[in-house]
């Protein structure tokens, strides 16, 4: 049996109507949407399916919405294929997606994860308004060069997405300066991101402090399947290690490139991205081409997976 990882996308993956086919075709997925509505005491499903996109994109809505669709996708996959978690060796998620991974590992309950990410989104929105910042994706720069660029400009590394793609965050002036001199480091493109603030930088410090208080109230169990830490690109399972990871994650760099390399080092041969995105599976192909990576977003792709040998017990 091939060693398999499941991964989950982060904020920015939201689209109006995401997960609707799953809701209509899978009882297990529908149960997740209904649980989310009940846990948050809002019509989250209606917002996901009908929008408007401006409201869905707000961090306090986007984060629980993406988590809901991601877990609905997982439950639909389980409904269609039967028990799959005994075929999974590692779980991971990008930023917000780490919470989805922890739900999949039975470390966090769905209700607790939803309340946490909704509060996380609120706090990040408040921090963004209090300390305005921007983010830019740089294509054609490696991690070490990006660190040097930041040391000159005051920008910070928010995400290391692939060997030659790094996202910077910081004040508008710091990012403008970094973008201006980025060509000196071989950057081919600089893409300004449509986000509310400088996520995963020190500008989120106020959000991190308040979220840490919320995390002290939440029950966290030992992960049944190890989860890759965003901040260290190491496997974690123990409840207190997970709690500490979530406490620092808001301001820490998302080491996605290093996380995929860790999965490869641990023998992962196939990777399934679950949720409203194919970004992580695409990045995986650039980081470790030897890993076969696909994305599952709806019942059609679940059926395609079922007809392949991708997650069969015997290949």
Which domains are assigned to the chain? Answer: 4-129+202-307 (3.40.366.10), 133-192 (3.30.70.250)
The answer on pLDDT for 159 being more than 70 is: yes
Say how far apart CA 249 and CA 256 lie, in whole Å.
13
CA distance 259 to 246: 16
CA distance 275 to 261: 22
181 with 149: CB under 8 angstroms?
yes
pTM of the model: 0.95
Considering the candidates 26, 70, 89, 95, report the single residue annotated as catalytic: 95
Quick: pLDDT tens for 92-145.
Answer: 999 999 999 999 999 999 999 999 999 999 999 999 999 999 999 999 999 999
- Does the annotation count 95 as an active-site position? yes
- Is 45 catalytic? The answer is no
Q: Report the pLDDT value the prediction gives residue 33, as an integer from 0 to 100.
A: 98
Residue 36: CA atoms inside 13 Å, Cβ hemisphere, count? 30
- Cβ-contact 14, 101 below 8 angstroms: no
Q: Mutual orientation of helices 299-307 and 59-81 as an angle, nearest 10°?
A: 40
For 148, the 3-state DSSP assignment is helix
- What confidence tens digit (pLDDT) does each residue in 163-177 have? 999 999 999 999 999
- pLDDT for 75 equals 96
Residues 196-241: tens digit of each pLDDT: 889 999 999 999 999 999 999 999 999 999 999 999 999 999 999 9
Query: Rounded mean pLDDT of the chain?
Result: 94
Catalytic residue (one of 35, 105, 128, 200):
200
Spatial separation of the C-alpha atoms in residues 206 and 210, rounded to whole Å: 6
Instruction: Check residue 292 and give its pLDDT.
Output: 94
Query: Can you tell me the distance from the alpha carbon of 172 to that of 88, in angstroms, rounded to the nearest whole number?
Result: 42
**Average pLDDT rounded to a whole number, residues 158-187:** 96
User: How confident is the model at residue 109, as a pLDDT?
Assistant: 98
Task: Say whether pLDDT at 309 is over 90.
Answer: no
Instruction: Specify whether the CB–CB gap between 120 and 63 falls below 8 A.
Output: yes
- pLDDT at position 313 is 42
Helices within 20-96 (DSSP H only): 20-25, 27-40, 44-50, 53-57, 59-81
DSSP conformational letter for 170: E
How many Cβ atoms from other residues are within 10 Å of residue 14's Cβ?
Answer: 21
> pLDDT-based confidence at 312, cuts 50/70/90?
low
pLDDT of residue 306: 75
Using CA of residue 167, residue 168, residue 171, residue 177, what is the dihedral sign? negative
């Amino acid at each position: 049996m091939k060693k398999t990882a499941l991964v989950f996308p982060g904020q920015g993956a939201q689209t109006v109507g995401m997960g609707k086919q799953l809701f209509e075709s899978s009882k297990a997925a529908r149960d997740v949407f209904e649980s989310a509505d009940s846990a948050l005491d809002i019509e989250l499903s209606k917002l996901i399916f009908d929008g408007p996109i401006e409201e869905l994109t707000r961090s306090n809505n986007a984060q629980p919405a993406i988590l809901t669709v991601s877990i609905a996708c997982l439950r639909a996959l389980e409904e269609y294929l039967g028990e799959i978690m005994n075929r999974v060796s590692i779980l991971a998620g990008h930023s917000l997606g780490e919470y989805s991974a922890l739900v999949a590992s039975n470390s966090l309950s769905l209700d607790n994860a939803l309340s946490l990410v909704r509060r996380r989104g609120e706090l990040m929105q408040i921090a963004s308004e209090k300390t305005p910042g921007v983010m830019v994706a740089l294509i054609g720069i490696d991690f070490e060069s990006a660190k040097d660029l930041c040391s000159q400009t005051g920008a910070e590394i928010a995400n290391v997405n692939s060997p030659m793609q790094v996202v910077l965050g910081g004040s508008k002036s710091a990012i403008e300066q970094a973008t201006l001199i980025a060509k000196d480091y071989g950057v081919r493109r600089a893409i300004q991101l449509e986000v509310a603030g400088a996520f995963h930088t020190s500008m989120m410090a106020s959000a991190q402090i308040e979220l840490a208080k919320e995390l002290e109230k939440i029950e966290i169990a030992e992960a049944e399947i190890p989860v890759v830490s965003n901040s260290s690109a190491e496997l974690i399972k123990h409840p207190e290690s997970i709690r500490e990871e979530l406490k620092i994650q808001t301001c820490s760099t998302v080491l996605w490139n290093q996380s995929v390399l860790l999965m490869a080092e641990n023998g992962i041969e196939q990777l399934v991205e679950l949720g409203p995105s194919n970004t992580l599976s695409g990045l995986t192909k650039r980081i470790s081409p030897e890993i076969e990576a696909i994305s599952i977003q709806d019942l059609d792709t679940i059926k395609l997976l079922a007809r392949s040998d991708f997650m069969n017990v015997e290949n």
